[in-house]
């Protein structure tokens, strides 16, 4: 599956149905009185956030979405049926921007619904215009077109833990150990080129599961590190480093990765845990490794885990640190400054249970 986290789409509400001009009785006989019905309203396009998607891939293949048009009115005052709303599922964590780049809504809760394009209003048939002074109107009101809007989607994964680090540190190995993911493990650089997700299931002691994403390794070329922004909603970041490297290189790896992280994800409150991996190839004891690393980086020793992702069977300490209280996701926010609050509220629909 292709991981797509940015895409542009066009949505259109359905056009309103036409109202008709008609008269009762024989064809075109105004004596029978007008009976032309109204057209139905066009359907809205409604975005719904779901946890069952984790990529914007469907929009990559289908960039245009259109709701159903309203049905035309008919004789005998029959109103046309309203067009059905088009429900478009987007992954939780999708930020929706308008064509001008202005944020519209951040869909960060499962089930959140937002009407992104309104359907056009149905036209009026001539029966609607009957009045004491105009008993046989021949006019109609034209139907409204559905709203057409260009949208940019920006997905930030809603995950609990982000695994980051330089290439070949052992991120994929650790992910596969912690979860049932099948991330590709190989001894060549940049094996993982898109985020890989895994889940640590809930158990009798912990009621909630933990979602972990391995983000592609940090690259010397800055523009290839934009995946790091996926760590911004995580409650923990784990940086996996290769402890078997020369100590100077290890510290340099840490500083390089840390400054890249801050560049793409400036939120400083997310705790960063350090995994010094490949201890099996390291000459120092675990305690020495931890002490030395802590001294040079000022990272507290309690946040440093020296391990061997390949050999260790006991990952309980790391798991206990991850189970520490999770940061709550932000509540839905009003984002579009140009639009008044009531515009926004009218479009935000309640989350169905
Ligand atoms: N000796 C040793 N090798 C490891 C350990 N963890 C991972 N590796 C190896 O390091 C290489 C890179 O691992 P990988 O998980 O793909 O690293 P990533 O690029 O950070 O995802 C692979 O050949 C792994 O088998 C470990 O704890 N000890
Ligand atoms: Mg990998």
Domains and CATH numbers, the chain: 6-156+331-349 (2.70.210.12), 161-322 (3.40.50.300)
Closest CA to 250 of 216, 299, 213: 299
Helix (H) or strand (E) holding 224: none
Q: How far apart are the first and last CA of the chain?
A: 30
C-alpha distance from residue 267 to each of 1, 53, 62, 156 (Å): 30, 25, 34, 14
List of residues 6+ apart from 142 with CB closer than 8 A: 18, 123
DSSP state of 52: T
How confident is the model at residue 329, as a pLDDT?
Answer: 47
Q: How far is the CA of 167 from the centre of ligand 1 (A)?
A: 9
Is the distance from the beta carbon of residue 170 to the nearest atom of ligand 1 less than 6 Å? yes
How confident is the model at residue 343, as a pLDDT?
Answer: 66
Who surrounds ion ligand 2 at CB < 5 A?
171-172, 191-192
Residue 7, classed as helix, strand or coil, is strand
Q: What is the pTM of this model?
A: 0.81
C-alpha distance from residue 237 to each of 16, 161, 214 (Å): 50, 6, 10
d(CA 172, CA 307): 14
For 166-209, what is each residue's pLDDT tens digit? Answer: 999 999 999 999 998 888 888 888 877 889 999 998 877 777 88
For 211-261, what is each residue's pLDDT tens digit? Answer: 999 999 998 877 788 899 999 989 899 999 999 999 899 999 999 999 999
Is the distance from the beta carbon of residue 187 to the nearest atom of ligand 1 less than 6 Å? yes
Is the distance from the beta carbon of residue 278 to the nearest atom of ligand 1 less than 6 Å? yes
Is the distance from the beta carbon of residue 308 to the nearest atom of ligand 1 less than 6 Å? yes
Question: Quick check: 82 pLDDT over 90?
Answer: yes
How confident is the model at residue 237, as a pLDDT?
Answer: 94
Question: Quick check: 336 pLDDT over 90?
Answer: no
CB 148 within 8 A of CB 117: yes
CB 171 within 8 A of CB 278: no
**225-261: burial string, b at 16+ Cβ within 10 Å, e else:** bebbbbbbbbbbbbbbbbbebeeeebbebbeebbebb
Mutating to test ligand 1, I would choose from 162, 163, 170 the residue with most ligand atoms within 8 A of its C-beta, which is 170
How confident is the model at residue 293, as a pLDDT?
Answer: 92
User: Nearest C-alpha to atom 3 of ligand 1 is from which residue?
Assistant: 278
pLDDT average, residue stretch 271-288 = 91
pLDDT band at 325 (very low <50, low <70, confident <90, very high): low
CB 170 within 8 A of CB 214: no
Q: Which one has a higher pLDDT value, 309 or 79?
A: 79
**How far, rounded to the nearest angstrom, does the alpha carbon of residue 221 sit from its chain's CA centroid?**
26
User: Nearest C-alpha to atom 2 of ligand 1 is from which residue?
Assistant: 278
């Amino acid at each position: 599956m292709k991981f797509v986290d940015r895409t542009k789409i066009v949505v259109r509400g359905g056009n309103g149905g036409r109202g008709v001009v008609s008269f009762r009785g024989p064809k075109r006989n105004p004596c029978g009185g007008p009976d032309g019905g109204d057209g139905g309203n066009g359907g809205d396009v409604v975005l719904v956030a779901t946890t069952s998607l984790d990529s914007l891939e469907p929009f990559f293949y289908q960039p245009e979405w259109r709701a159903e048009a309203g049905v035309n009115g008919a004789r005998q005052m029959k109103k046309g049926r309203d067009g059905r709303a088009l429900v478009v599922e987007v992954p939780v964590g999708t930020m929706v921007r308008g064509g001008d780049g202005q944020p519209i809504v951040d869909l960060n809760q499962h089930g959140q619904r937002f009407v992104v394009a309104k359907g056009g209003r149905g036209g009026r048939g001539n029966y609607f215009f009957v009045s004491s002074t105009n008993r046989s109107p021949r006019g109609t009101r034209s139907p409204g077109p559905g709203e057409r809007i260009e949208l940019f989607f920006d997905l930030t994964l809603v995950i609990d833990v982000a695994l980051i680090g330089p290439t070949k540190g052992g991120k994929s190995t650790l992910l596969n150990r912690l979860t049932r993911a099948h991330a590709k493990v190989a001894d060549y650089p940049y094996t993982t080129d898109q985020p890989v997700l895994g889940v640590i299931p809930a158990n009798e002691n912990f009621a909630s599961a933990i979602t972990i994403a391995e983000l592609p390794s940090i690259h010397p070329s800055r523009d290839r590190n934009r995946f790091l922004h996926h760590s911004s909603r995580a409650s923990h970041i784990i940086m996996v480093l290769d402890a078997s490297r020369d100590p100077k290189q290890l510290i340099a790896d840490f500083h390089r990765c840390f400054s890249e992280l801050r560049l793409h994800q400036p939120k400083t409150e997310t705790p960063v845990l350090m995994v010094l991996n490949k201890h099996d190839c390291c000459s120092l004891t675990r305690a020495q490794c931890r002490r030395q690393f802590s001294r040079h980086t000022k990272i507290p020793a309690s946040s440093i885990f020296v391990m061997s992702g390949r050999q260790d069977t006991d990952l309980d300490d790391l798991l206990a640190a991850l189970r520490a209280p999770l940061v709550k996701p932000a509540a839905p926010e009003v984002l579009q400054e140009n639009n008044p609050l009531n515009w926004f509220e009218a479009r935000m629909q309640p989350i169905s249970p």
